Amino acid sequence: ELMLIGAGYGIFITPNTTAIMDSVDAGIILIDPETHTIQAINTAAANMFGAPAEGIIGKVCHEYLCPAEVGCCPITDYAQNVEHSERVLLKADGSRLSILKTVKSIMLNGRPYLLESFMDITDRKKAEQQLTLERERLANIIEGTGVGTWEWNVQTGELALNDRWAQIVGDD
């Protein structure tokens, strides 16, 4: 038995394929590259958007998926390769979500489509920001106190000294 999930072009998918798509934690969306309309969406993508799939299918991807203006699509208008690229997802409530996104051109039933997959990287982005702040804080402490530092990589034998340590040991 086949189930229609698209918005007008006869995109058919089996219930087994739907079950597979919905079991994936990544967002998966099928887009018509000519009209930029969302033809299919899995549960993870709908949850990230914050709207039911029925309210998203048939909408223009610029309204939900991508902040690019109409006519400025990175894939169809600028022929950019989007593979594991950090991007922004526009959510139903107007907020933005940091995602890692890949877009592939595929053919289904003789028609071209864009298959977009993406993952929420909000937690990773927060961790990166915290790490950057901690590194800046540590650098300020080292500079402000005038301490010398050294690091020795036991595996490679590499030794890294800061300028103050070099002054202390007379190697400046």
pLDDT at 172: 64
Contact criterion met (CB below 8 Å) for 12 and 2: yes
| Amino acid making up residue 104 | K
pLDDT at 4: 38
pLDDT computed for residue 11 by the predictor: 56
Q: Between the CA of residue 45 and those of 10, 73, 100, what are the distances in Å?
A: 21, 20, 13
Low-confidence ranges of the chain (pLDDT < 50): 1-9
The predicted-structure confidence for 27-62, as pLDDT tens digits, reads as follows: 999 999 999 999 889 999 999 999 998 889 899 888
pLDDT of residue 67: 75
